[in-house]
């Protein structure tokens, strides 16, 4: 039997969410919900309407950001379904919603219903507790790790550029399925998308090093040079990812960082 995958997009369109967060409902009669979505009654109603009288076996989430787990507790109450989470998700999920305490159970690397089996793959980077969920041969649910419209944002201290790059390689090497991201459309050639993202990141890193060849610069200045003229709100988000790149390059001793008065400046390490 074909595995049914239903996408319901919440109405939280925005600069970092694109057309909104995608919630996925998988299965025919015994359902799994991935990423219930932001705290919106309208979105909750759409999910419940689609589920109808069918049984939700469990609810899972790719990571703890509020546009993914905002409805986790309410959906669990409404559907009487348990929430399965990874060990490294517990503290972050409870920090967001204490009431989840009595609803959660831990999943292992394989999660199954009597219809299908799914691998939970740890993919830290965008968030430390990020997972991708793979139904072998059918689909890879990539959350915010790999999105359908843009590169993801890596924000310190929970985000980590080194982890992100390693997680991209894990997914590239492991899967041949189509990607179903939490924002944007399905990605048919997942491996190619991984390669593009890895190349993009490496290119940015070279660009930063080239920029620092001439002079020492602070985060603000580097971001403006790298991103050129973009929307001022977008610059704020771009800065988070540039900062993560810079910190990784400092850790790898590719560049150095020094505090001058109250600002950190980055420069190329003298050889």
Interface characters, 96-135, with Zn ion (x: CB under 5 A): ----------------------------------------
> Distance of CA 257 to CAs 214, 238, 250, Å?
15, 19, 7
Between CA 46 and CA 80 the distance in angstroms is 17
Structure tokens at 5: 């995958």
Between CA 222 and CA 244 the distance in angstroms is 12
Interface characters, 35-74, with Zn ion (x: CB under 5 A): ------------------------------x---------
For Zn ion, the closer of residues 22 and 113 by Cβ is 22
Q: Per CB under 5 A, which of residues 133..162 are in contact with Zn ion?
A: 144
Min separation Cβ 65 and Zn ion, Å: 4
Rule CB under 5 A: say whether 183 interacts with Zn ion. no
Min separation Cβ 63 and Zn ion, Å: 6
Question: How far out from the chain centre does Cα 244 lie?
Answer: 15
For Zn ion, the closer of residues 239 and 249 by Cβ is 239
For residues 192-221, one letter each, b for 16 or more C-beta atoms within 10 angstroms of the residue's C-beta and e for the rest, the string is ebbeebeeebeebbeebeebbeeeebebee
For Zn ion, the closer of residues 65 and 239 by Cβ is 65
Residue ranges that bind Zn ion, judged by CB under 5 A? 65, 144
């Amino acid at each position: 039997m074909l595995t049914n995958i239903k996408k319901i997009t919440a109405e939280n369109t925005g600069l970092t969410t694109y057309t909104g967060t995608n919630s996925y409902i998988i299965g025919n009669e015994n359902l799994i919900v991935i990423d219930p979505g932001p705290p919106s009654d309208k979105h909750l109603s759409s999910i419940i309407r689609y589920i109808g009288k069918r049984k939700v076996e469990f609810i899972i989430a790719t990571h703890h950001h509020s546009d993914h787990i905002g409805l986790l507790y309410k959906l669990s109450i409404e559907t009487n379904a348990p929430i399965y989470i990874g060990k490294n998700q517990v503290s972050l999920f409870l920090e967001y919603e204490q009431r989840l305490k009595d609803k959660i159970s831990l999943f292992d690397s394989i999660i199954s219903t009597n219809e299908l089996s799914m691998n939970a793959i740890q993919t830290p980077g965008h968030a430390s507790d990020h997972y991708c969920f793979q139904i072998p041969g059918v689909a890879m649910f990539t959350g915010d790790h790999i999105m359908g419209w843009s590169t993801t944002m890596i924000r310190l201290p929970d985000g980590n550029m080194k982890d992100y790059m390693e997680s991209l390689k894990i997914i590239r090497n492991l899967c041949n399925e189509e990607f179903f991201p939490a924002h944007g459309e399905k990605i048919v050639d997942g491996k190619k998308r991984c390669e593009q993202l890895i190349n993009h990141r490496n290119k940015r890193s070279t660009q930063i090093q080239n920029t620092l060849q001439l002079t020492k610069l602070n985060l603000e200045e580097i971001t403006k040079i790298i991103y050129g003229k973009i929307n001022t709100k977008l610059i704020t988000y771009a800065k988070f990812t540039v900062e993560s790149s810079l910190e990784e390059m400092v850790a790898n001793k590719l560049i150095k960082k020094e505090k001058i008065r109250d600002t950190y400046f980055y420069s190329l390490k003298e050889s």
